[in-house]
Chains A and B, each alone.
Chain A
Amino acid sequence: MKKLLESLSLIEKKVLPFLEEKSISEICKKSNLDKVTVLRALEYLNNKKIINFETEKKRVIDVGVNGALYRKKWLPERRLLFLLDERRIISLNDAQKQSSLSSDEFKVSLGVLKAKALIEIKNGKIVLSASREEISKKSMEELFLESLPIDEDTLTPEQAFSFKLLQKRKEIVQVEERKKFLIKITPLGKEVMNSKELTYDLIEQITPKILKKEQNWKSKKFRRYDVTLPVPKINGGKRHFVNSSIDYARKVWTEMGFVEMEGEIIQPSFWVFDALFTAQDHPVREMQDTFFVSEKGKLPDKKILDSVKLAHEKGVGGSRGWNYKWDEEEAKKMVLRTHTTVLSAKTLSNLKKEDFPKKYFAVGKVFRNETVDWSHGFEFYQTEGIVVDPDLNFGNLLGYLKEFYKKMGFSKVRFSPAYFPYTEPSVEVNVWHPERKVWLELGGAGIFRPEITIPLLGLDVPVLAWGLGFDRIITDYYKINDLRELYKNDITKLRKAKAWMKV
């Protein structure tokens, strides 16, 4: 009880003594608060179970425009009756003039009085047939008009009849939908109202003014809050969820000792394809699959160029090569990189034997000439890695991949054979999705072929390499079914998006 009393806010306490008033407007008047505030206070009191506060919608009958007028100045038939009371017999013309009724009102009045057998019409004259007593008595309609407003569902049969009659006439009555507030004081409420401990001297909001002097708050009580109440939402600033997840990948690779690579998005075909032993007639090198830019790019120095040419035409290091005539012009064509492996190729071309061992990674956008739908897009993220050291083997490659996916939250990984022009052995990584109970294809990896390492590095050293799709990891974490949502930038959704919480 004490807790409850301490939790009452100022407005609740102001309203409290007047809960038994008939209407909200009455409470407003007595408490000296506006209607919005009173309603809010009642809502609070309801939450605290001090009252049962209900609102219900009611159909209420009230006077119309004419009805309000007639209530002050009598109904037209009454005014005609007054005239007849003086004259007993009067011609229709005179009656209308002298009663100063409109022709509509006059017609209606005649009808009404005739129906009630208060008058008769003979030879164009009105003859009063009612007694004095009958005249002085208030009619049903008049009584009904006086009783307004009234709930439609509380009408007596007599009232209902009058209502029906008046409804036929012009704007005398009307029906409105009204909200009706019902306040019932609960037993707890009664107790609160009668409590002697109800104090008005509680501290509401702590203000700088209160804090100024110790006596303002010392030995005073603080009004209790309902700390469980919901509060309005606020918006904050934050990173885009795709970038948060990419930052996490950066962290994972750097923790494992990898150095980040960077580079252009528009690259010569040489680095995207030729240096990676992708034959010039490979379908990926067609406009159907890859975005081409009309400009031509620069090729690297002759040593690398000749070596790559040789790898394609006749093979290097015991390879047979692709056995065709390699065209330098084709290698100059600029494309939007189709994989981040282009960065690995360039990095290798700058490495020297003395630099080993080395580990590099990249996370970046890659591009494919695709249509856009829920499962396709023209740009997406890939994460790339290479490890260069003479002592590396295939099991090591699987080790790095397993560790990366473990950090991404996939503890069960499966490796199966795959094919890429630039790696051998090649492997495809599948991860087990525990909720969906399926294997997801997530990325390709392998050991670079000698046709790549010999021209770029100058020697045949195992280079572990991978280029892993990243968008599927993100869509899975954020339960996104449509790839387009990744870059849609729906502000409401971005504000609501959970933080990337992999640790």
Chain B
Amino acid sequence: MANVKFDRATFEKEIGKLDLKMQEKIALFGTPVESLDDETIEIEIFPNRPDLLGYHGFKRSFLSFLGKKTGFKNYKLNNPEKNYEVKVESSVKDVRPFTVCAIVRGLKFDDKKIKEIVEIQEKLHSTVGRQRKKLAIGIYPLEKIALPITYKAIEPDKIKFQPLEYPKEMSGLEILQRHPTGKEYAHLLAGKIKFPIFIDSEQSVLSMPPVINSEKTGRVTNKTKDIFVECSGFDFEILEKCLNILISNFAEMGGKVYSMKVGGKVTPNFKSEFRDLSLEKTNRILGLDLNEKQIKECLERMGYNYKNGKVEIPPWRMDILHEIDLIEDIAIAYGYENFIPKIPPVSTVGSENSKEIVKRKIAEIFSGLGFLEVSNYHLTKKEDQFVKMGIPEKEESEFIELESSKTDFNILRKDLVHYLLKNFSENSDSEYPQKLFEMGKVFQIKKSKELKEEERLSSGFTPGNFTDLVQTLDYLFSNLNLKYEIKEEVKSSLPFVEGRSGEIFLEGEKIGLIGEVHPKILKNWKIKMPVSLFEINLEKIFKKFE
């Protein structure tokens, strides 16, 4: 998700006044307004439209949507001049194989424009660039560069240049170890024998992608007029699109775009794509009855050209994978607010999952007994699941751990009873008696590495003894019309008092445990009232009612 901020005054001058109606229009264009104050408008750009991340790209598309300057906008691409060339050496193949480049001339940079290009670069890095992993962009002042340029990879200790925001020259490795930006992106070059660089014909390093530019040749200032732009990465097609997004923004800013010879090819590839569009399918999917002229109008408002069943797609659009993507754009142009919501006359018979029906019955039975249902997290803490339940660390087993949890809830619950004790523990100021129940999934990993989820029912009673809870169990099973048995546990399992815990059997199969909680467990939870608990597996009961 990316939010972009545009200057409000510029927006109002060049696009229109930001009244409620305009804000609504922006949302209906598919770019929700996140915030608006006197100076800035903040807009959310969905990941499928990186071409809207820059102000000029947004302005072009949105004005077209408003019906002001519709249709495909063609920017002139000039042929490469002398030495407009980037030589690509094969050494980059294993590090960062591709680059696409262009030169843009006649841009009058000022602080505002510099800020704009820095921002669009950042936004593209964090979205399609996947934090520079997939793609990185470099923009350089042409006047500082001696053309032609070479893109190659060399040993990091042979790389020597003064990186941005640093007072002196460093080697490639030093940059990764000591420069703040270098450290941030070091993982992207970690383990590589050679690091990629752009270097000019006078052996001055322009940058070491995807990490950092040179202070000398890689900093655009408000004296800069002409720039060299490159995108480097792993997916040639995405690099092309990204460069197209950049140069179409620069062209909107008044720049003159020139191609370059890059490793035997000529970039950018600024050719439109064409795709067939079926009018019948468009109308069928959208439930509309638009004629060809109306569809053409819709497409033009979304920045396309249309002719004889073919749509011309601008070279900066990355999101048109399929005809259906064009159909969505037609829907946006038509206006989501103009569709009539209508449930179709499709007749089907509804039904609930039988497990849910059984669970609801059980909840009714428990409610009738005065039990309150609780709802706890599926995630839990090791401290609660094991330590407080008296299970020593070496006996913790069969639990499922979650990787890199942002909280200390980093395992899946193995049972419900520990949560009931937690509930009792946190509610000592609520009126007694407290009678609780919960139904839900618990998780286990078997020795065979099989992950197991099962639905359980647990109930707790405080102050309550063994008899109190057996009465509850009796009532439950007689209402379900099932016969159960309690057998004494051979060896009492925690957290129960020895001799006061039993195994619950349904038709010869063990489905749960019941017992009085041992004072030492109560002490762990700081509970000052006697507690009895049971927990049963519901899966077998579900089967009885399928």
Contacts and interface: CB of A to CB of B under 8 A. Distances in A.
A285 to B, nearest CB: 11
A214 interface: no
Interface string B416-436: 000000010011011100111
Interface string B318-333: 0001111101100110
Interface string A341-371: 0000000000000000111000001010111
Contacts, number: 255
Contact of A369 (B285, B406, B435, B441): B406
B11 interface: no
Contact of B374 (A323, A398, A489): A489
B348 A358 contact: yes
Contacts of B370: 235-237
A292 B321 contact: no
B464 interface: no
Nearest to A238: B367
B164 interface: no
A414 B363 CA distance: 37
A235 B351 contact: no
Interface stretch (A12-20, A55-63, A218-226, A254-262): A254-262
A425 B327 contact: yes
B405 A447 contact: no
B392 interface: no
B236 to A, nearest CB: 10
Contacts of B363: 239, 243
A415 B423 contact: no
Given A254-B350, A318-B322, A393-B286, A292 B406 contact: no
B427 A492 contact: yes
Interface stretch (B73-81, B189-197, B264-272, B335-343): B335-343
Given A238-B372, A240-B375, A287 B349 contact: no
Contacts of B407: 371-372, 378
Contacts of A271: none
A239 B365 CA distance: 11
A469 interface: no
A381 to B, nearest CB: 10
Nearest to B349: A257
Contacts of A395: 286-288, 339-342
Nearest to A253: B350
7 tightest CB-CB pairs across the interface, nearest first?
Answer: A393-B287, A417-B30, A419-B46, A398-B341, A254-B350, A425-B328, A491-B430
A489 B376 contact: yes
B55 interface: no
Contacts of B355: 262
Provide the main secondary structure of the chain B interface.
loop
Contacts of B445: 295
Nearest to A277: B321
A235 B433 CA distance: 9
A232 to B, nearest CB: 11
Contact of B375 (A266, A297, A317, A487): A487
B344 interface: yes
Nearest to B347: A257
Given A260-B352, A264-B453, A449-B324, 10 more contacts: A236-B367, A257-B349, A262-B353, A367-B378, A395-B339, A413-B341, A415-B341, A424-B324, A449-B322, A492-B429
Given A396-B287, A417-B332, A247 B360 contact: yes
A447 B30 CA distance: 16
B373 A417 contact: no
Contacts of A198: none
B47 A250 contact: no
A418 B235 contact: no
Contacts of B344: 387, 389, 391-393, 396, 399
B400 interface: yes
A384 interface: no
B376 A487 contact: yes
A398 B288 CA distance: 14
Given A238-B372, A264-B453, A259 B443 contact: no
A237 B378 contact: no
Nearest to A357: B346
A257 B348 contact: yes
Contacts of B406: 369-371, 378
8 contacts: A287-B403, A291-B402, A359-B348, A372-B407, A378-B379, A378-B409, A389-B344, A491-B427
Given A394-B285, A447-B285, A294 B322 contact: no
B287 to A, nearest CB: 3
Nearest to A392: B344
Interface in A389-433: 389, 391-396, 398-403, 413-419, 424-428
A112 B328 CA distance: 108
Given A378-B409, A395-B342, A491-B434, A237 B366 contact: yes
A330 interface: no
B197 to A, nearest CB: 25
Contact of B372 (A237, A399, A447): A237
Contact of B378 (A265, A297, A413): A265
Interface of B: 27-30, 32, 46-49, 130, 133-134, 235, 237, 284-288, 321-325, 327-328, 331-332, 336-337, 339-344, 346-353, 355-356, 360, 363, 366-379, 400-407, 409, 412, 423, 426-427, 429-431, 434-436, 441, 443, 445, 449, 451, 453
B453 A293 contact: no
A259 B366 CA distance: 27
A442 to B, nearest CB: 13
Nearest to A254: B350
Given A243-B373, A369-B405, A379 B348 contact: no
Nearest to B131: A283
B341 A401 contact: yes
Interface size class of A (residues with CB under 8 A): 35 or more
A281 interface: yes
Nearest to A264: B453
B285 A323 contact: no
Interface string A283-301: 1000110011111010000
Contact of B401 (A281, A294, A379): A294
A396 B348 contact: no
Contacts of B32: 416, 428
B364 to A, nearest CB: 9
A418 B331 CA distance: 12
A67 interface: no
Contact of A417 (B29, B286, B426): B29
A281 B133 CA distance: 10
A149 interface: no
A395 B331 CA distance: 11
Contacts of B412: 266, 336
A321 B235 CA distance: 13
Nearest to A376: B406
A77 interface: no
B188 to A, nearest CB: 14
Contact of B331 (A287, A319, A394, A403): A394
A494 interface: yes
Interface string A72-88: 00000000000000000
Nearest to B48: A419
A389 B377 CA distance: 37
A64 interface: no
A283 B134 CA distance: 12
A345 B59 CA distance: 38
B431 A235 contact: yes
A195 B325 CA distance: 92
Given A378-B407, A379-B378, A489-B375, A324 B235 contact: yes
B446 to A, nearest CB: 10
A487 B409 CA distance: 14
Nearest to B375: A240
Contacts of A291: 402-403, 405
Given A242-B375, A395-B341, A492-B429, A320 B321 contact: yes
Contact of A416 (B28, B286, B443): B28
A389 B344 CA distance: 10
